A and B are shown apart, each in its own frame.
Chain A
Amino acid sequence: MSRPEAYPWISKLEIRCKIISLMAAAFLLITLEEPIVLSIILLGLFILARLTGLPWRFLGRKLGLPLPFLIFMATPLVLGDGFPISDDRLIFAYQLITKGLGVFMLLIILTFTQEEVHLVEGLRQIPIPKTLSAVLLLSFRYVHVWTATLKKTYRSSVSRGFEKKWNSRTLKVYGEMIGGMILRSLDQSQRVHRTMISRGFSKELPMRPPNPLGIREGLWILSLIIAFTLLKALEMRL
């Protein structure tokens, strides 16, 4: 799915600040229980997503990703005990769906308001172990390589009469395809390591220094804290 073109004000936020604040917001969101409050949050996140320039159609298509999983989890909660459906189960299922969609909206806002490369750079600027940071950067680069390789391998298998169904023959094909890719990736990892060593690698890949935090970031964090405090207060009153 293509990335929307315009990234207005939110893309100017310092990336570490945006990542940490949106992840903290995700954990705070799941602490809320009141259906009305959760509905307000979901509506607010839709408005925020629109203010960041994400088109309706794009949002609609993206929301199609988590919905099947959430419906799969919510349906037994609603119907699993037969009829009549209890209010308790209905509310629990509603909480599950709104929380799931709410956090998903936060992820969409985080992911699609800057380029992927800046997101990775921002993640690496968060204080995490050097090894994890290096693995994250290299993995991001190789994900695209392997996705393309897998697609190519699959297309060539199909052109030779391979059918996408389950039997002992296809299991063997899938298994050996994975085994082959693992061996290729191990070979490539040795080449990558040799190249990195020749460039002076010692567990740490170079990165740009993080941008300083400014008034914009302060206002962003303050507005998130105020919004959450108000919602928590509303929940306690209901």
Chain B
Amino acid sequence: MHLADGVLSTEMAVATTVGAAGMLAYSLYQTKEEEIPKISLMSAVFFTFAMLSLPLGPSSVHPLMPGLLGIVLGRRAPIAVFIGLFIQAAVFQHGGITTLGVNTLLVGIPALVCWQVFAKVYHREKSPYLVSGLLGGLGVTLTAVLLVGVLWATDIRYSQGMVSNIQLITLSHIPLIFLEGGVTAFAVGFIHKSRKTVLEAVKG
């Protein structure tokens, strides 16, 4: 889930906005001209799938895709995350403006971690289903851990009580870990079968 405006304290909103700007500067560094259309189109794909509401019991979830973005875009993944979230906020009023920084960090950091791990373990002769499935799950797990950390650091009341926000958020992310692991495994598996060069390019 994305944090809405009003959830964060001013200090946390400013700190995460500055943090996200730093991460974006790292991602934008030495971007080549030919990468711009690729990042743009992937931002649009990320945005489209993040708007997809999938039924889960009485509620619904939407894919976060940090693992898949990291695997496909590598170091440039946070740019796609930021642009996707910005368009969601500005056009569809989904997410928030004061929380744009934190939401970018929540998906961008796991995407960078997944990229680093995938770049180390991927080999064109080996099936990537297991690795990418685990990374899809790891991406959501890291997002949930960061989200819990941000809420805990924002205000202790988010973690207090018999049924706290942090408990609910943790519970709601558990099914998403498995769903996204599965979706990422099949998506990366499909790309591996169809065009290995796309995955090899991320290894750098």
**Which positions in A face B, CB cutoff 8 Å?**
23, 26-27, 30-31, 62, 65-66, 69-70, 72-73, 76-77, 79-82, 88-89, 92, 95-104, 106-108, 110-111, 116, 119, 123, 129, 131-132, 134-140, 142-143, 145-147, 150, 164-166, 168, 171-172, 174-176, 178-183, 185-186, 188-190, 192-193, 196-197, 201-203
With beta carbons under 8 angstroms apart, the residue of A132, A142, A178 that contacts B68 is: A178
A135–B158 alpha-carbon span in the complex (Å) = 36
User: With a CB–CB cut-off of 8 A, which chain A residues contact B84?
Assistant: 139
CB distance from A132 to the nearest CB of B (A): 6
Which of A168, A178, A196, A203 has the most chain B CB atoms closer than 10 A to its own CB?
A: A178
The answer to whether B51 touches A147 (Cβ under 8 A) is yes
Q: Does B145 lie at the interface of the complex (its beta carbon under 8 Å from any beta carbon of A)? A: no
Structural contact, B97 and A69, CB atoms closer than 8 A = no
Contact of B36 with A179 in the complex, beta carbons under 8 Å: no
- Residues of chain B whose beta carbon lies under 8 Å from any beta carbon of chain A: 1, 4-10, 13-14, 24, 28, 31, 33-34, 36-45, 47-49, 51-52, 54-56, 68, 72, 79, 82-84, 86-87, 89-94, 96-98, 155, 157-158, 160-165, 167-168, 179, 182-191, 194-195, 198
Provide the residues of chain A in CB contact with B6, threshold 8 Å: 30, 70, 95-103
Which residue of chain B lies nearest to A202 when distances are taken between CB atoms in the complex?
B33
* Chain B residue contacts of A116, Cβ below 8 A: 91
The secondary structure that dominates the B interface is helix
Known: A76-B168, A134-B36. 17 other contacts (CB 8 A): A23-B97, A30-B10, A65-B93, A76-B165, A101-B6, A102-B6, A103-B96, A107-B90, A139-B41, A140-B91, A142-B40, A146-B41, A146-B44, A147-B48, A171-B182, A178-B45, A179-B189
Do the beta carbons of A186 and B41 come within 8 Å of each other? yes
In whole angstroms, what is the CA distance A15 to B24 when docked?
A: 24
